[in-house]
Chains A and B, each alone.
Chain A
Amino acid sequence: MSQNPFQIIRPSDQPPENLKKEVIGNVKRIMLLMRFMQLFMSDFGMAFFENIRLVGRNDNSVHDPKP
């Protein structure tokens, strides 16, 4: 009974030891980048809405109904 030849040639190589360092190092960089992005985006959004609110504030006198 012959064995499946594809099983016989199955790779048994182990991943290089330095690969984990590379991957986790880059994962940390990506996390840092994502945090910067979040920070920037949230600041950007706040700044954007703050400006709109300021414009609104300036208009307060105009919208203030007087009897």
Chain B
Amino acid sequence: MLFKKKAKADSLLSDEELVAELQHSMDADRFGLLYDRYVTKVYQKCIGMTRDKELAHDLTHDIFLKVFVNLSKFDHRSKFGTWVYSITYNYCLDHLRKAQRQRSTQVDDESMTEDIAEDTYESELLNLRSEHIDEVLAAMDPTDRTMLLMKYQEEHSVKEISELLNIGESAVKMRVLRARERALAKYYELYPEER
């Protein structure tokens, strides 16, 4: 009875209040509440980035353990959700980059000019056929794929992506621009009849 009352009271707490409680004293049941609130989004982001349900399962597991172990480092300056998604994107990207083991396409983004035309290729990209987009994304570099998903699926602003990935806003703009270019190139390579 007492347990049920505590569980109900906990479920009324905001994420940040729950985290504050957890920072004070670790409690697996309370952490379970945070898990319930975020697992679907984290899992779907992992699927989007990896295109692999089994891998997404493993990554989601690891991400939640990472969140738990690092809870004491959450400083309440951002929303808890933002912090969790930041861990999600960065963890998936690290994993995919390690798995890919190819760094040849990495270019120093920061050295590029900052003045970028925002809408270059954007309307063309958004008019591509959705049934082909999935295959194009699957064939892309993990970093490019992540940038496109964050920008066009999650609809994060440049500032938000910059905060989530801990990179500068100009770097975000450049990466999105390049990802758009590569996505279109890959699209026409896979479906030349669409040109």
Interface set of A (CB-CB < 8 Å, partner B): 2-16, 19-20, 22-24, 26-28, 30-31, 34
Contact = CB atoms under 8 A, between A and B. Distances in A.
Interface string B43-70: 1100110000100010011001100110
A11 to B, nearest CB: 4
A33 B105 CA distance: 41
B78 interface: no
Contact of A30 (B60, B61, B69): B69
Contacts, number: 76
Is chain A's binding surface mostly helix, strand, loop or mixed?
Answer: helix
Nearest to B153: A6
A12 B44 contact: yes
A20 B57 CA distance: 11
Contacts of A23: 35, 61, 64-65
B47 A13 contact: yes
The 9 A-B residue pairs with the shortest CB-CB distance, nearest first, are A5-B130, A6-B152, A8-B130, A15-B43, A6-B153, A11-B47, A11-B44, A5-B133, A23-B64
B135 to A, nearest CB: 10
Nearest to A18: B57
13 contacts: A6-B133, A6-B152, A9-B134, A10-B153, A13-B53, A14-B43, A15-B57, A15-B60, A19-B60, A20-B35, A20-B39, A23-B64, A27-B31
B40 interface: yes
B195 interface: no
